[in-house]
Amino acid sequence: MRAPSLRDRSHRAGASFATLAFAWIAPLAISALCLSCRYDPVPQEIIDDLGPETGSPSAQHRPGQPCLACHSAYAGAKPAMAFGGTVYTTDAAGGLGPAAGVEISIIDWAGVPKKVCSNLAGNFYLEKADWKDPAFPLVVKAGSSPMTSLIGRDGSCGSCHKPADPDGPAVHDPVSGANFDSAGKIVVDVSDTSKCGAGQ
């Protein structure tokens, strides 16, 4: 059997280098491709429109915003949420302030009941780990106020209970900000506050 020549060895070394490079580059390329595939313009636009964080992320941050825009499989913010929103009540000056200690009860279409309390910012949420697959539509009650409509598919209260579009028709409910395409902020009676939880 012939001993490998210098040229053969050089060729093999080149091939090994190419194999090694391919072994590194291919997974990197695939990862980059997968990351770019993750981009979804619809949720991304919602996230971008929320603006920057004003404090540090906590259970009390970003009241009134659609929680699941970020606390979702797409954006990956922790904890992943199944449901979340913010409740308000009228303050002494007649304005709106956070409603703490309000019990929010939710029943899904399979009859599974869930309860959660609002914190000091008025925020409330249920983690995905505690409610993996709610059966929509949901029936919701905030304090003593039942929601007039069902929730069809969105666990973010803030998606529908949103501030009025400044470019849209005039606001028709000066308290909640409800408009033709917005249910306005969730406003509960002041007697519904401090009924549950200590709030965080």
Partner 1 sequence: MSEQRRPSARRSPIAIALLLGASALLVVVGVAGCRDDLNGRVTNACPSQTVFESSVSPYMERRCGTLDCHGGIARPMRLFGRLGLRHPDEDNIPGGKATTKVELGANYASVCGVEPEKMNDTVANLGNTADELLMIRKARGVEKHKGGKVVDEADHADNCMLGWLRGDQPATVEAECAAAIAALQ
Is residue 173 at the binding interface for partner 1, with CB under 8 A as the rule? Answer: yes
In contact, 136 and 152? CB cutoff 8 Å: yes
Is residue 136 at the binding interface for partner 1, with CB under 8 A as the rule? Answer: yes
Q: Which of 13, 40, 180, 200 binds partner 1 (CB under 8 A)?
A: 180
> Would you give the end-to-end CA distance of the chain in angstroms?
79
Is residue 151 at the binding interface for partner 1, with CB under 8 A as the rule? Answer: yes
31, 32, 34, 35: CA torsion to nearest 10: 120
Region of 181 (left: φ > 0; alpha: ψ -120 to 50; beta: rest) is alpha
Q: Which of 70, 102, 160, 187 binds partner 1 (CB under 8 A)?
A: 160
Is residue 179 at the binding interface for partner 1, with CB under 8 A as the rule? Answer: yes
Q: Which of 79, 97, 137, 197 binds partner 1 (CB under 8 A)?
A: 137
Contacting residues for 71 by C-beta, under 8 A, at least 6 apart: 77, 78, 79, 80, 81, 84, 125
With CB under 8 A as the contact rule, which of the stretches 10-18, 33-41, 84-92, 171-179 interacts with partner 1? 171-179
Rounded to an integer, what distance in angstroms lies between the CA atom of residue 105 and that of residue 43?
27
Minimum distance, C-beta of residue 148 to partner 1, in the bound complex (Å) = 5
Q: And the tokens for 17? A: 């280098």
Q: Which residue type occupies 125?
A: Y
Is residue 9 at the binding interface for partner 1, with CB under 8 A as the rule? Answer: no
Rounded to an integer, what distance in angstroms lies between the CA atom of residue 183 and that of residue 36?
35
Minimum distance, C-beta of residue 186 to partner 1, in the bound complex (Å) = 11
Closer by beta carbon to partner 1, 96 or else 151: 151
Name the site residues for partner 1 (rule: CB under 8 A): 136-137, 148-154, 159-160, 168-169, 172-173, 178-184
